Structure 1
Amino acid sequence: MLSVINTLRQGSPRPEELDELVPSRYALRVGEIDVLVISDGAFPLPATTLATNASPDDLAAWLGDQLQPLDVYKWPLNVVVVRSGDRTVLIDAGMGDEYPDEPRAGGLLAHRLEAAGIDPASVTDVVLTHMHMDHIGGLLADGLKSRLCPDVPIHLAAVEVDFWMSPDFSRNTFGGFPDVLRSTAKRFVDEYGSQLRPFDTECEVAPGVVVHRTGGHTPGHSVVRLTSGSDRLTFIGDAVFPDHFARPDWFNAFDHDPEEAVRVRTDLLTELAATGEPLVATHLSFPSVGRVALDDEGFRWVPATWEY
């Protein structure tokens, strides 16, 4: 059974530090593992990036059902901090300053870590689900980079690092900004290459915190599975976007292998529906804690009830 806690065990912020009128962090416990979901913000993209192989009418119908505009969709951006044993693990790092022409569209992680009372110097490990700029950009931003321990290990799949040495965008179905994705990944490797701890298939980073490579969205895309006693939680990164519960066959514009991404997400959604295990995802509406259910046409997202 998941239980909610007020914050990670490092003291609550003073009232005067709560200077935002929006919720930006949500804490829960998976057995003996403390979990904090932090919103890095939200960034707008053309709505067509959600489903490049969908017909305009089908995509418009889905957006209409969600009461969303038909031209632009704001992608939530969630980061997770996990404390297990004596390890404090940052899972993904948000956008930083990488999103073109939108300085406030994401990039809020450093501020929100501070508001939550988390000193970046206390982070013992960083895990990256993959190397897209909205997952590594925060590590390149001064607000976070200068405050991390200079030798903090960064865990990610080896094939992910290899891919970004010479990235192939030939199977992507979008006309977005590959130059920015490519240059951000290069700067990241140049900055942190000596700290990378690549793994082949999976890696236990902390007690009960296991990173498992799935591929699909990117060659080395990974999920993070938390296990403590009988409790489970999976951070699924970019394996699933909001439209994929109803239409797991839709290609996300940033899938580097769209067909493999469909297979990965379908298998993952099927597994999570069967087990009832809760999940957190990067681009589901904050705090993105919920479960997967089956319905007549596929899958259904069931958000968890907020507890205070």
Structure 2
Amino acid sequence: MFSVDTTLHPGTQRPDELVPSRYALRIGEIDALVVSDGVLPLPTSTMATNADPADLANWLDHMFMPPDAFDWPLNVMVARSGDQTILIDAGLGSQFSGFPRAGQFPQRLEAAGIALESVTDVVITHMHMDHVGGLLADGVKQRLRPDVRIHVAAAEVEFWTSPDFSHTVMPKPVPGVLRSTATSFYNEYRDNLRIFQDRHEVAPGVVVRLTGGHTPGHSVVDLVSGGERLMFAGDAMFPVGFDHPDWHNGFEHDPEESARVRIRLFQELVETRGLLVAAHLPFPSIGRVAADGDAFRWVPIIWDY
């Protein structure tokens, strides 16, 4: 199991952070750690671009969420299988102004006792800036192994050579930043990329597979060991998606396909009863999915202390 430092530092009366930012669990023989990269504020209108604004307002009120803007959770994961340590997504990074509470994963990983130097593999679910930006933060590449393997779908790399934003509904500055960040990531790490087509086993019991939808190369990661399973679903689902899986998120490049992917993955999780972690569910975002008529129900785990 990951060794997580929860001790108080000398001269303090409490841990450095008020709330926990990492959660460890075990999937058979695979150690896993969910790490919060922080939160970033987004307009609530991006949550459901095809919904009646009144319906979205009612859902937000029902969920005790503010009507205009909300804090978007950012989660990454580390898995240890055999002699490999795999980072799944890398958060936002610290190079974007206006998001001071995001880009936390490097120091939080360090605080958990996991050195960047120990990472053998990185899996990128897709190349949006809040999933690759952390690899561009100051000092991160210098600490990663020169031979670190970065796994990303061929369709994703191809998409970002000339990305299509015609079906997205994003805040005005975002597309340009997404495009430039994806380009910087590719240029910085092209020699480390391990391109896969549809499915690739990164380590024993750790498999990345193409889903498409959110982006053409969007992928999910399955941890399967000892009869247990967990899916890291990237941006395939968001909090509103359980109640309204057909609502489109403004950051989806193919909203119709995204809804189909979301429903298909929800149905898979209902059938397998496997655990779910997603990049933008509230930390630690670990739970199961149950069918609820034409919608779904999120069942969070009970924390194991």
TM-score tier, shorter chain, comes to: over 0.9
Residue from 21, 24, 27 that aligns with 1:24: 21
Q: SS in structure 2 opposite 1:41?
A: strand
TM-score normalised by structure 1 residue count: 0.94
Aligned counterparts of 1:46 and 1:25: Cα–Cα separation in 2: 26
Superimposed CA distance per residue, residues 183-207 of structure 1 (whole angstroms, 9 cap, x where no aligned partner): 0011111100111111000110111
Equivalent positions of 1:67-78 (< 5 A) are 67-78=64-75
Residue from 221, 225, 228 that aligns with 1:228: 225
Greater shift in the superposed pair: 38-47 or 172-181: 172-181
Q: In the alignment, what sits opposite 1:130? A: 126
Superimposed CA distance per residue, residues 118-169 of structure 1 (whole angstroms, 9 cap, x where no aligned partner): 1100000000000000000000001422211122110010110011111111
Q: In the alignment, what sits opposite 1:282? A: 279
Figure out how many residues of one structure are paired with residues of the other and give that number: 300
Aligned counterparts of 1:210 and 1:258: Cα–Cα separation in 2: 25
* Letter of the 1:12 counterpart: D
Across the aligned residues of Structure 1 and Structure 2, the Cα RMSD in angstroms comes to 1.3
TM-score normalised by structure 2 residue count: 0.95
Equivalent positions of 1:1-308 (< 5 A) are 8-9=2-3, 12=5, 14-16=7-9, 18-102=15-99, 104-176=100-172, 177-308=174-305
* Letter of the 1:296 counterpart: G
Q: Is the contact made by 1:28 and 1:35 (CA closer than 8 Å) also made in structure 2?
A: yes
Q: Is the contact made by 1:93 and 1:136 (CA closer than 8 Å) also made in structure 2?
A: yes
- Runs (4+) of structure 1 exceeding 4 A deviation are none
Displacement of 1:105 in angstroms is: 2.9
Q: SS in structure 2 opposite 1:211?
A: strand
Q: Is the contact made by 1:98 and 1:133 (CA closer than 8 Å) also made in structure 2?
A: no
Greater shift in the superposed pair: 293-302 or 243-252: 293-302
Q: SS in structure 2 opposite 1:15?
A: coil
Structure 2 unaligned spans of 5+? none
